[in-house]
Amino acid sequence: PGETTKTITVFITNDVLVENPEDFFIFLNGPNGSRVHQPSSLLVTINSDDVPGLPNPVDNSDFFVRQHYRDFLNRDPDPGGLAFWVNEIEVCGADTQCREVKRINVSAAFFLSIEFQETGYFAYRTYKAALGDATSPNVDGTVPVIRLDNFLFDSKQIGENVQVGIGNWEQQLDNNKNKYLSEFVARPQFLLVFPISMTADQFVTKMNQQAGGVLSAEEQTELVAILGNTPGDFAKRAQVLRRVAEDSNLHQNESNRAFVLMQYYGYLRRNPDDPQDTNFGGWKFWLDKLNHFNGNFVDAEMVKAFLLAGEYRARFGN
């Protein structure tokens, strides 16, 4: 409400892949208490100006770090952050083995960062708490229910104007989370699982089941009390959902599953069962390996494998 302009960020990656022009439309619709003037749509064309035959830019530390900000934090880097992480790699000089280790550690640091844990991983945990898990053909157990398009849209909303350590970022993050959850509990897929007819006890019990039984009896009692006699109240439902999504047990239980999922979302920019795969078999392979090494991504060689994968490198060049 009250907005007269809107900024849309489209990241342009200066890779070495010569591509045909790419088009997309922007539409303005659904005004609240106002009307949209004409023209209400716009065709945007992105023309490739890249030169073929150059070295893959992902081997350049500045490009490598900048792309990680975009892929994991949905923003361009602040100058201080960019300089810090580039230096972490460049301190190795020409030592190839040192540079490989540093690139792996720098890459993993983006998943482990406070900013990602409170934005992208928060979106993941919200879906887990609300919608539980999914299954995948010929894959034992359950798999994450959140999909790439959900993740990109939701994490962007949660992280809007948030840069950890810069300005009043904590208040901005808190406001973003509250707004996001208020909208989330009104979504059809949420109401399908948590209809308005539910009692407070039914609501909390169901959400605890979806989250994997992470709540203690005392915590469940507290959440039932929050809903009280009006368990259909959207604001109260959002408050309860946030409490569960931020539960420390849920955070710990889902960490490895989310870490592996982000190998696909961050590096490959696809779902684990999108072509070239047909199910979550690859995701399960890396999850089992990461669990075997107690979450140690270096010993599991997981981050290393995705950074060296032809599919990842082919995003930017040959």
Structural tokens at position 271 = 């779902």
Asked whether the predicted pLDDT for residue 200 surpasses 70, the reply is yes
Contact partners, residue 88, CB within 8 Å, separation at least 6: 102, 105, 106
- Record the pTM: 0.91
Asked whether the predicted pLDDT for residue 52 surpasses 90, the reply is no
Name the pLDDT band for 126 (thresholds 50, 70, 90).
very high
Domain that holds residue 181: 55-317
In a domain, 26, yes or no: no
Asked whether 145 and 192 are in contact (CB, 8 A), the reply is no
- Cβ count within 10 A of residue 191: 14
In a domain, 8, yes or no: no
In a domain, 84, yes or no: yes
Q: How many distinct structural domains can be found in the chain? A: 1
Determine the pLDDT at residue 263: 98
Asked whether the predicted pLDDT for residue 1 surpasses 70, the reply is no
Contact partners, residue 89, CB within 8 Å, separation at least 6: 61, 64, 65, 99, 102, 103, 106
Determine the pLDDT at residue 2: 65
Name the pLDDT band for 193 (thresholds 50, 70, 90).
very high
Name the pLDDT band for 299 (thresholds 50, 70, 90).
very high
Asked whether the predicted pLDDT for residue 123 surpasses 90, the reply is yes
Q: Which residue has the tokens 């100006």?
A: 49
- How many Cα atoms sit within 13 Å of 307 on the Cβ side? 22
In a domain, 2, yes or no: no
Nearest residue to 64 (alpha-carbon basis) of 87, 98, 94, 95: 87
pLDDT in tens, 211-258: 999 999 999 999 999 999 999 999 999 999 999 999 999 999 999 999
Name the pLDDT band for 46 (thresholds 50, 70, 90).
confident
- How many Cα atoms sit within 13 Å of 276 on the Cβ side? 6
Structural tokens at position 41 = 């749509």
Determine the pLDDT at residue 77: 96
In a domain, 93, yes or no: yes
Determine the pLDDT at residue 66: 98
Nearest residue to 161 (alpha-carbon basis) of 73, 62, 269, 79: 73
CA 272 to chain centre: 14
Length of the chain: 318
- State the Cα angle at 167 between 164 and 171, rounded to 5°: 75
Q: What integer best gives the mean pLDDT of the chain?
A: 95
Q: Which residue has the tokens 């409490």?
A: 243
The mean pLDDT value for 287-303 works out to 98
In a domain, 211, yes or no: yes
In a domain, 18, yes or no: no
In a domain, 1, yes or no: no
Angle of helix 120-131 versus helix 200-210 axis, rounded to 10: 120
Higher pLDDT, 33 or 232: 232
